[in-house]
Amino acid sequence: MGPVSKEHEGQIIREDNRRLVAIPDEFFLEGDKIIIRQERDGTITVHPAEREARDAMAARFNPFTEWENGIWPKTVPPFD
């Protein structure tokens, strides 16, 4: 079983001139820096900024990787 889309309803926290959104623990995101992109329709996406983090995400969410019981793997297979 491959990756399955997830959805979570959260809150926007306003602090000074910033809006903060907490990413729940059940969502996996590698790295320390992110890229935030907003489309014309208002959709906002978040991606890892570092190459190593993107590679780790690609390895973990490889559609050809089998997941036990549909659960995200704890360890990441080597990325070739």
Range of the domain at 37: 32-70
Whether 43 is covered by a domain: the verdict is yes
Whether 52 is covered by a domain: the verdict is yes
Whether 3 is covered by a domain: the verdict is no
Whether 11 is covered by a domain: the verdict is no
How many domains, in total, are found in the chain?
A: 1
pLDDT, tens digit (0-9, with 9 covering 90-100), for 1-38: 455 677 889 999 999 999 999 888 888 788 899 999 99
Whether 76 is covered by a domain: the verdict is no
Query: Global pTM?
Result: 0.59
Pairing of strands 44-48, 18-21: unpaired
- Give me the residue label for tokens 């190593």: 52
Whether 63 is covered by a domain: the verdict is yes
Question: pLDDT at residue 72 above 90?
Answer: no
Whether 48 is covered by a domain: the verdict is yes
Whether 79 is covered by a domain: the verdict is no
Hey, what's the torsion of the CAs at 70, 24, 79, 33, to 10 degrees? Answer: 170
